């Protein structure tokens, strides 16, 4: 239910951002939306299991190996979707070739993966170790 509401609100927001970007020729907000909306969806996909793990009230640890191996490369792709269009990266930061060839598919998958991995990296500390 929550994912459906977020998708509906997200689509309404996307229409408004696209219209505004077309009228002002300013692409940065659209690029940020394209990069960050899948991250939110990835977080929402993993949230129910994360809440069940939190209800156990057991100590949790952060799995740096999963986050470093999967999350950081996905974060790089997400950031490179909009950083070259920002005032910070304009002119000297080039868009990676995979993003130029893949359209919005690659940043969407990377955003979903990053959002999921952020919550998946929190693990219940195993008492048997």
Domain residue ranges in the chain: 2-124
**Percentage of residues in the chain with pLDDT exceeding 90?**
30
- Other C-beta atoms lying within 10 Å of the C-beta of residue 41: 18
Are 114 and 78 contacting, i.e. CB atoms less than 8 angstroms apart?
yes
What does the alpha-carbon distance between residue 97 and residue 101 come to, in Å, rounded to a whole number? Answer: 6
- Other C-beta atoms lying within 10 Å of the C-beta of residue 90: 11
Are 106 and 38 contacting, i.e. CB atoms less than 8 angstroms apart?
no
Per-chain mean pLDDT for the chain? 84
Predicted confidence (pLDDT) per residue in 69-88, tens digit: 999 999 998 988 888 878 87
Strands of the chain (E only): list them. 60-62, 122-124
- Higher-confidence position of 81 and 101: 81
- Other C-beta atoms lying within 10 Å of the C-beta of residue 23: 8
pLDDT (average), residues 38-63: 89
């Amino acid at each position: 239910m929550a994912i459906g509401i977020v998708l509906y609100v997200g689509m309404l927001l996307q229409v408004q951002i696209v219209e505004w970007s077309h009228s002002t020729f300013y692409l940065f907000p659209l690029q940020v939306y394209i990069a960050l909306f899948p991250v939110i969806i990835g977080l929402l996909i993993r949230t129910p299991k994360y809440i069940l793990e939190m209800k156990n009230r057991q100590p949790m640890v952060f799995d740096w190996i999963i986050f470093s191996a999967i999350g950081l490369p996905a974060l790089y792709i997400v950031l490179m979707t909009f950083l070259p269009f920002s005032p910070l990266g304009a002119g000297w930061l080039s868009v990676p070739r995979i993003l130029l060839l893949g359209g919005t598919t690659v940043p969407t998958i990377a955003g979903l993966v990053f959002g999921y991995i952020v919550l998946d990296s929190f693990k219940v500390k195993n008492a048997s170790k």
